[in-house]
Amino acid sequence: MITGIKGTRRIRRATAVAVTSGAMLATGALTAAPAQAVTAPSIVAKGGYVMNNSSGSSLYTKAADTKRSTGSTTKIMTAKVVLAQSNLNLDSKVTIAKEYSDYVVRNNASQAHLIVGDKVTVRQLLYGLMLPSGCDAAYALADKYGTGSTRAQRVANFIGKMNTAAKNLGLKNTHFDSFDGIGNGSNYSTPRDLTKIASSAMKSSTFRTIVKTKSYSAKTITKTGSTRTMAPWTNTNGLLSSYSGTIGVKTGSGPEAKYCLVFAATRNGKTVIGTVLASTSIPQRESDAKKLLTYGFARLG
């Protein structure tokens, strides 16, 4: 069942009519004319949520608080945690470990095709995380910014930071057990919670710059010290090329998650941000998101 909140606006008109004949003044009473009601759209995705980014007020809900697998939209929180690190140096270099590469092969996961032994900056890893949805980049970041004497400890610590960040945002229906969305049965969120995570992440200018970028070419340092120009990373968010005003945010997919999209767009100085979870295909999640964005802007007027 789709729950839509229909917006109605009242236009009040004051009309003053001066009748010169006989020097009489007729003043029209205040009249109320209902504006065209905006009809809430029907979407295929099982869950959806849209809000006014500036006020946080809800504009649309469909199973907005139902917990679902989030796929790679999880990486929004991965990036948020990295960008929240104290004394963050985006130019700090990370050496790509064989385990990061083995991990994506083992899981048949989306990847940035990072080369073992290359030195890659944190900034580049964030682009590799958010554009091609690189699970290898996610692993590298979790390994760098987690605390512990072993890789497993560092990764577990980083995931703990993701959960702490969710708690700090007051989110009750979100839990992470992975740094990239390849969960172990306990990686979930809701359309409302994911939208709030994305809205919080968008406060970072670095995050905003990354998620609105359509393509990015990283120059990494090889084992021998030479420069490697990586094949360009293309943003998986098709809305950037097909919906005017789109400024982000992140796609996600998986056997359980189906097709997900966290989206944001700005028009006439107003930003609408939202999420669709468990749509049926890439074109369908984009169609769902476009409907919700257009509806959101109509609600805002």
Q: Considering the candidates 62, 75, 80, 258, report the single residue annotated as catalytic.
A: 75
Residue 201 has which token pair? 């992440």
Residue 209 CB neighbour total at 10 angstroms: 14
Contact 154, 127 (CB under 8 A): no
Among candidate residues 58, 72, 253, 279, the one labeled active-site is: 72
* Alpha-carbon gap, residue 298 to 2, rounded angstroms: 18
Task: Record the tokens describing residue 174, joined without a space.
Answer: 């979100």
User: pLDDT averaged over the chain?
Assistant: 90
Instruction: Give CA separation, 248 vs 18, 120, 201, 253, in Å.
Output: 53, 24, 11, 16
Q: How confident is residue 193, by pLDDT bands cut at 50, 70 and 90?
A: very high
Question: Annotated catalytic, 98?
Answer: no
Which is more confident, 106 or 14? 106
| Helix, strand, or coil (residue 16) | strand
Residue 75 annotated to the active site: yes
pLDDT (tens digit, 9 = 90+) per residue, 132-150? 999 999 999 999 999 999 9
Distance of CA 56 to the CA centre of its chain: 15
pTM of the model: 0.87
Encode pLDDT of 33-87 as tens digits: 344 578 999 999 999 999 999 999 999 999 999 999 999 999 999 999 999 999 9
What are 222's two structure tokens? 């090889």
- Whether 228 and 115 have beta carbons less than 8 Å apart is answered as yes
Q: What is the pLDDT of residue 36?
A: 52
User: Does 241 qualify as catalytic in the annotation?
Assistant: no
Structural tokens at position 100: 């990061």
